[in-house]
């Protein structure tokens, strides 16, 4: 392994560490037994931890979590290298080539003033060309380009964006808000049934969530970010409720809902 004290090439050092971890006899047994499939859930977790660190505005945590995410990329590349498919350099080369190809106004054409609309149109045209080059004889659909394994909110948002690009979209935000109200009304109708159909209720709640994502998109708000911030705000407030309860010598599980609600309102008033 390279001596890190004599080299500034930390990426090369990381690749060496990964190779050692994957060594069949001298490596780490856990790392050796991992596959691309087994790593996926860890990659998703690490991605969310990066988002959490950014939301917390703690640059030390951001640096740490980005390192964990980079390790995931290095891990996949090492597994592929062992099977003879590709290595880390191939990954880096592929994204570098793609970035240069998709930014001709920066790398291959004279610098010129381009607005956001021009940049978006150019990006879409280049992606469409790349897609056409990859196209096979099988039937392809517009939404095939949206990965189904994305987190639910992000998946919904990307589906809607893809449809909007071909004109399948509300012209303004007013009917989107009406749609949200309609979907919530349908949830209410399900809840007043004598025998609630859980499957139907699940479907109506899903429709309402999808409509809310659409509302966020029309309002130029990222639904995932908005929900994440709301969750952080809730967590911070609930922690304060627990702290106030402790200062009063009480445990949350021994308090009534009214007592906890009183503390909640107290915390809300302090936040304003």
Question: pLDDT, tens digit, for every residue of 43-76?
Answer: 989 998 998 899 888 999 999 999 999 999 999 9
Instruction: Please determine, for residue 133, whether its predicted confidence score (pLDDT) is greater than 80.
Output: no
Task: Determine contact, residues 259/232, Cβ cutoff 8 Å.
Answer: no
* Gap between the Cα atoms of 1 and 19, Å rounded: 9
Mean pLDDT rounded to a whole number for the chain: 89
Q: How far apart are CA 187 and CA 208, in angstroms?
A: 8
Residue ending a domain, among 67, 102, 137, is: 102
Looking at per-residue pLDDT, the higher value among 130 and 22 belongs to 22
Number of domains observed in the structure of the chain: 2
How high is the pLDDT of residue 112? 67
In a domain, 15, yes or no: yes
pTM of the complete model beyond 0.85: no
Q: Which of 71-80, 96-105, 160-169 has the highest mean pLDDT?
A: 71-80
Residue 157 domain-assigned (yes or no): no
Contact 19, 81 (CB under 8 A): no
C-alpha torsion angle, residues 9, 15, 16, 20 (rounded to 10): 160
* The predicted structure's pLDDT at residue 135: 63
Please tell me the predicted confidence (pLDDT) of residue 115: 77
**End of a domain among 60, 77, 102?**
102
* For residue 93, pLDDT beyond 50: yes
Structural domain range at position 254: 226-271
Cα 105 from Cα 156, distance rounded (Å)? 31
pLDDT confidence of residue 251 = 93
Is residue 64, in this structure, part of any structural domain at all?
yes
**68 domain residue, yes or no:** yes
Burial of 33 (0-12, 13-18, 19+ CB in 10 A): exposed
Q: How many CB atoms neighbour CB 178 within 10 A?
A: 12
**Residue where one domain finishes, among candidates 49, 67, 102:** 102
Give a yes or no: residue 146 inside a domain. Answer: no
Evaluate if residue 252 carries a pLDDT over 60.
yes
Residue 6: band (very low, low, confident or very high) from pLDDT cuts 50, 70, 90: very low
CATH number at residue 78: 1.10.287.1080
3-state DSSP assignment of residue 192: coil
How far is the C-alpha of 237 from the C-alpha of 243, rounded, in Å? 10
Any residues with CB less than 8 A from the CB of 151 and at least 6 apart, and which? Answer: 44, 224
């Amino acid at each position: 392994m390279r001596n890190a004290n004599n080299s500034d090439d930390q990426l090369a050092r990381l690749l060496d560490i990964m190779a050692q971890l994957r060594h069949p006899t001298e490596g780490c047994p856990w790392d050796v037994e991992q596959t691309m499939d087994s790593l996926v859930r860890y990659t998703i977790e690490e991605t969310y931890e990066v988002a959490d660190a950014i939301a917390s505005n703690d640059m030390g945590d951001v640096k740490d979590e980005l390192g964990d995410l980079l390790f995931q990329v290095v891990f996949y590349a090492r597994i592929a290298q062992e099977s003879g498919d590709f290595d880390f350099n191939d990954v880096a080369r592929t994204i570098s080539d793609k970035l240069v190809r998709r930014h001709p106004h920066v790398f291959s054409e004279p610098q010129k003033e381009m607005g956001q609309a021009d940049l978006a149109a150019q990006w879409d045209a280049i992606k469409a060309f790349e897609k056409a080059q990859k196209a096979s004889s099988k039937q392809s659909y517009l939404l095939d380009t949206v990965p189904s394994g994305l987190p639910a909110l992000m998946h919904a948002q990307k589906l809607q964006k893809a449809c909007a690009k071909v004109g399948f979209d509300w012209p303004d935000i007013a009917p989107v808000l009406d749609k949200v109200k309609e979907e919530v009304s349908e949830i209410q109708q399900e809840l007043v049934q004598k025998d609630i159909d859980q499957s139907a209720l699940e479907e109506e709640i899903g429709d309402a969530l999808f409509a809310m994502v659409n509302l966020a998109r029309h309002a130029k708000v990222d639904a995932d970010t908005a929900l994440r911030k709301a969750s952080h705000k809730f967590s911070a407030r609930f922690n304060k409720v627990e702290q106030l309860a402790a200062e009063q010598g009480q445990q949350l599980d021994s308090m009534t809902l009214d007592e906890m609600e009183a503390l909640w309102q107290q915390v809300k008033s302090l936040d304003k």
